[in-house]
Structure 1
């Protein structure tokens, strides 16, 4: 079986979809599936070049990893089902918020979508594709409501799996500039204004002022991404660093920048809690959240709207019930810090939730989907 994996040209170190694709390609190859990656470089001409390359390869299945940001907010990849001469599977990493072009009235989009031939976000990918994949139930529900298309739900795996305790906890903390006896709350992932770190820093400052002198915040992750280009990323890091000084906790917040996976895993093992105070709330669509689960960390999240049914307060996570609120983050931190039984319970349930979300299992689910697509068309896979 030959799969062509179509993606934007982003660096996996700067983009979550590119990182996902790298992991998936590696896991598929590990199971013996041949995968040829085809980047889309640029808008219409880039799509035509990619389509030409795909036709040359004659794959069994074309798999598009779709997010508007991954293709530079160009809608032209949405025409690929009509250009490649092979069944197209599309993974919708983002869905339900975008339209191209955005100036078209909503009523016009709805009329087009009722025909089942065109979609405001993916153009022809979702309506004309052989299958759609979503990583969460919310995107699947939106796709069903809008187009009547039933997606295959294949959850994410951790961005950084548990790579084992290869280094003593004390040594890792010393290298990160964290006191050996600190109560360490870790944040992991791309650092961006919507991740709520200003509020988490303020919460840590409030608790330290109230007497929790061992509390330390560890921020693991790079700032530069597709969503935050280098100049803006540098400015935001400066802003966040200045905020730690304003809050009086500059010596109690360690900001590492981008780290290799081995170092992230070691740092998560050296932490006591994890916190993800995203301003739009948190779902299991977050590979960073799943990384915390994989490392057995009891975890605090802010609620999404609607809430993720798998993230249940006191069971799999502790939910800070409002976003952009340092006070509720302080309360959530205190709940976990003061209750060892709660920490153990949510850590165990989080780890159990993520146990089946491994890259080999995800690759297996994709192979099964490719086989169903080919079976439905009556086409055998190439040798």
Structure 2
């Protein structure tokens, strides 16, 4: 009998959420591993094919989910945790306690987001630290992380937070790219992009890829573009923003308002003709754009780490990446090295600093070639078949173990 793994995803809508897209890719990879049977379970709000186990992730819904998941007779339950995916409800943190009433299947949890949230917020940090010292409760996940048989993070920063709070070692299993390389030749991709977006011959192309949200820093990319285009050497620059605005983190009404705000900001900065907002973009077109890009630009306001699927997609396509860094060195991904596999920006929320980094990369052909090659080498070990195999090994290691008491 294959090992059945219930992959718990808060809202399985890969077109609206990065974690859901991750789960879809992981499930596909696991399905190709001999002896593993992945089953995605989610709430009624899911838009992709899955087993719907509750209406919502409140206490009543988590109780229903525990019964329904147990009814699937899983060998392992793998919870994908990010607060927004569960509607900011902390009740999912009770899932291990409720599951053990119905099944002995161990719980594995991947902490996609960790280290910044707590519920309720009014509880002082000193109280949380005292609770966490008991190794039974956690300010962000309640019993989920403490009672899981194994914890996974996608980056070393989250693993360090787990270690300091809970005294546990999380396995770091990095993300893979969230867009498959379609294999376009660079010259053909550039010609297609030039024709599609009306670029003049020889124009240089900057590409932002990902869900568009205020924290993604697109406003500062527009500011940097305006500053650079005022200089004759960069008057041909064009930015393509490839990504939808509507997501779990930005509902439709807010997404429309934010897009209008960015378009107005671009008009005020005089870059309307130099910025293309594509909205949700098919993976095939994103792949072509990443092949065509002179630079992929990720100016996130909280900085970029290796847990970014968009970053891995750009690296995998051989696009030189310019990116912001998290403020705290402890939160940075040590494998991302300025001048080796990325070009870093000195500050966040700063169009002028971003312009400096873009100018540095645009003016140095050798730098772009070096970081493109280094980025591709970094991405090579992070393919979804490799990552699925690592998960399968983890499941096998815990499948005979009871859930922690």
- TM-score past 0.5 threshold: yes
C-alpha distance in structure 2 between counterparts of 1:200 and 1:372, whole Å:
45
Moved more, 23-32 or 234-243: 23-32
For residue 272 of structure 1, what is the aligned residue in structure 2? 294
Q: How does 1:1-383 map to 2 (within 5 A)?
A: 1-32=3-34, 33-40=36-43, 41-42=55-56, 43-84=58-99, 85=103, 86-165=105-184, 168-211=189-232, 212-304=234-326, 305-306=328-329, 307-376=332-401
C-alpha distance in structure 2 between counterparts of 1:177 and 1:149, whole Å:
54
**Residue 289 of structure 1: SS of its match in structure 2?**
helix
How far 1:336 moved relative to its partner?
A: 1.1
C-alpha distance in structure 2 between counterparts of 1:243 and 1:122, whole Å:
38
C-alpha distance in structure 2 between counterparts of 1:80 and 1:19, whole Å:
22
For residue 381 of structure 1, what is the aligned residue in structure 2? none
**Residue 26 of structure 2: SS of its match in structure 1?**
helix
The aligned length equals: 378
C-alpha distance in structure 2 between counterparts of 1:157 and 1:173, whole Å:
29
Contact 2:149 2:402 in 1 (8 A): no
Post-superposition CA distance 1:85-106 (Å, at most 9, x none): 2100000000011112222222
How far 1:188 moved relative to its partner?
A: 0.5
Q: Which runs of 5+ in 2 are unaligned?
A: 44-54
How far 1:377 moved relative to its partner?
A: 5.6
Q: Which runs of 5+ in 1 are unaligned?
A: 379-383
For residue 46 of structure 2, what is the aligned residue in structure 1? none
Post-superposition CA distance 1:195-216 (Å, at most 9, x none): 1111111111111111112111
CA RMSD of aligned residues (A): 1.5
**Residue 13 of structure 1: SS of its match in structure 2?**
coil
C-alpha distance in structure 2 between counterparts of 1:180 and 1:26, whole Å:
41
C-alpha distance in structure 1 between counterparts of 2:65 and 2:199, whole Å:
48
Post-superposition CA distance 1:263-314 (Å, at most 9, x none): 1111111211111111111111111111110110111111112232122111
Contact 1:62 1:87 in 2 (8 A): yes
TM-score normalized by the length of structure 2: 0.90
C-alpha distance in structure 2 between counterparts of 1:268 and 1:99, whole Å:
37
How far 1:168 moved relative to its partner?
A: 4.4
**Residue 111 of structure 1: SS of its match in structure 2?**
helix
